Amino acid sequence: MTTAVTVAALALTVLLSGCVLYRSQIPVATTYEAEPQYKMQSAGHWQVLASDVADRILKAIEDRDDLLMKPLYLEPPNSRPFSLGFYKLLTSELVSRGMQVSLERESDVVDVDYDVLAVLHNDRMQRPPIGTFTTIGAGVSAARALNSMAEWIPAAIGAGVLADLAGGAITSSSNREVLISVSMSYNNRYVVHTSSVYYINDPDFEQFVDPEARGHYVQEFKARPVRVTAQ
């Protein structure tokens, strides 16, 4: 028994010393700490974003005396459902806060614009920790990881997560993300510029971007053979 313990201890010592002495010619890949990322799954989530953006724009205008009386002009949307819907939602949110929004471009307006960049990932692997669940915050789902059931139970009760679980609020990551940027500018200077990244359900991809639109779609391409025939 003593011999077996001694051998095990010696093996462990060698293993640990090997870890300490480990060298690599390139940096060793590691992962980030788990962070929540919102997942857009409904037009109601678009409205949450529009409301947040309108609040940012209102605050920025209130901080600038030279912009208080100037109308806002939103760039016309493209044909994608998100662009059309977000245009209407953001216009409603701005008007409801007492801001002027021009129907057409005028000589002296504050420009508001938004853009969507879609990203498709290939062969990603996600290992969710035990206790991962979904909460609903401000109408947008966010993933939160807890370390133990002792943490899970009070958090679930406090946030109403038990009801969410029963109601189907569980969500997951996907292979498709969108980066949504909204800006407000005046005299060739940014006054507001905010960007956020969201997961989206894979089938919803074309609601956000046209796959054929250059500059709005990023995909990890794989090399493939091309057959060449003699003319």
pTM, two decimals, is 0.66
Residue 14 has pLDDT above 90, yes or no: no
Predicted pLDDT of residue 196:
93
pLDDT in tens, 16-52: 555 555 677 788 888 888 788 889 999 999 999 999 9
Reported as a pLDDT band with limits 50, 70 and 90, residue 13 is low
Predicted pLDDT of residue 158:
52
Predicted pLDDT of residue 122:
77
What amino acid is encoded at 26 in this protein? I
What amino acid is encoded at 192 in this protein? V
